[in-house]
Amino acid sequence: MVLAQFTANFQGLTRLLDLPPFASFTRDEMTRLVLGNPPPPVLTKDLKGWITEATPICGEFAHDLRTYVTSLHPADVDLSSDDDAAQSSDRNDDFSPILLPPGF
């Protein structure tokens, strides 16, 4: 839902930096890209251009994604670390790590 609102921005970004079309990336590659990780071709071509152009788009995407997710699951959460009774969340995490591109 949030990604759909930013697809045109990311398509423009990939065209601007002479990258493959945004839609040609796999889901994992898209996830890394929208969160600000440059695709492998950028590492050899134009990292400075990526930083300049992608940072604002990725930042806005991350903000809108967070806003959307928190609207779905509103909760008062105390994130302070001084709670001795708090349990580690390591046991409950179900996620796929973001992998660095080859040669990074």
Number of separate domains in the chain: 1
38-88 pLDDT, tens per residue? 888 887 778 888 899 999 999 999 999 888 888 887 666 656 666 566 566
Q: Under DSSP, is residue 85 helix (H, G, I), strand (E, B) or coil?
A: coil
96 in a structural domain: no
Domain residues for 11?
2-72
| Domain membership flag for residue 47 | yes
Rounded mean pLDDT, 5-10: 91
Tell whether the model's pLDDT for residue 18 goes beyond 60: yes
Given a cut of 60, is residue 90 above it in pLDDT?
Answer: no
Q: What is the DSSP string of 57-68?
A: HHHHHHHHHHHH
Measured between its terminal Cα atoms, the distance across the chain in Å is 30
